[in-house]
Amino acid sequence: MLKLNLLNNMNGIIISNNSFFDKDYWTTFCKGDQYKFFSINDITQFLGAFYLDRLREVLGNKVDETFKDFPLTKEQTEQIKTVFENQIDMTLPLIEPVEGRRYKSWTLDWKGKSYDMNLSLISPQSMKIQELYKIMKIAEECLAESKPMYISIDSLDF
C-alpha cells in the first residue's frame, strides 16, 4: 500500500540507503534488512514542511523540485547526518517525562547518555527523535559503506 501510494500520488519525501523506485518494495524494503528508508507521505502537513526545511539546509532550492532516487554526494550525506544530529540535540530537552504511564518505549543511547523514549501518541517529541535518529543512521550507514544516500521528493502540490 505504501509503495503504491508513493508511486501513484507521492507528494512526499523518501530518504533511503538504496535506490527505491527501481525495486520491488515487497521483496526489498519490506523484507530485506539491508534496505532502509524513511518516508513522509504528505509534505503539505507540518512534519513534511519540517523535513523539507532540514533538507533545504543541504540541498537548497532543489527540494522545491520533483525527483526520484536522487543520489547524494558524500559531502551532502555528511551534511544530512550533521543536520539531523543537531536536530536531535535540539529536540532531546523537549522530551516528555514518562513516569506512571504505560507506553511503548525505546532507549536512545546518545553521546554517552541513555534516554527512555515514550513512543506513544502522548509523546510526539520522542517519536520525532526516533525519526530523526533513523535518518541520521541511514546517513551514517551510507558513509560507512561508501555508498550514496538517496532522496526522492514530489512537491507538485506544495
How many structural domains compose the chain? 1
Question: 65-122: per-residue pLDDT in tens?
Answer: 889 999 999 999 999 999 999 999 999 998 877 666 556 778 899 999 988 888 776 6
Q: Is the pTM for the entire model greater than 0.75?
A: yes
What's the CA gap between 45 and 57, in Å, rounded?
Answer: 19
Kindly state whether residue 133 falls inside one of the protein's structural domains. Answer: yes
Domain assignment present for 83? yes
pLDDT at position 5 over 60: no
Asked if the structure places residue 108 within a domain, the reply is yes
* CA atoms of 21 and 4, how far apart (whole Å): 11
Q: Which residues contact 41 (CB under 8 A, 6 or more apart)?
A: 2, 5, 6, 11, 12
Q: What is the DSSP letter of 4?
A: H
What per-residue confidence (pLDDT) applies to 3? 44
Q: How many Cβ atoms from other residues are within 10 Å of residue 100's Cβ?
A: 6
Q: Confirm whether 106 is domain-assigned.
A: yes
Over the stretch 114-139, which tens digit does the pLDDT of each residue have? 888 887 766 788 888 999 999 999 99
Task: Evaluate whether residue 158 is within a structural domain.
Answer: no
- Domain region containing 140: 2-153
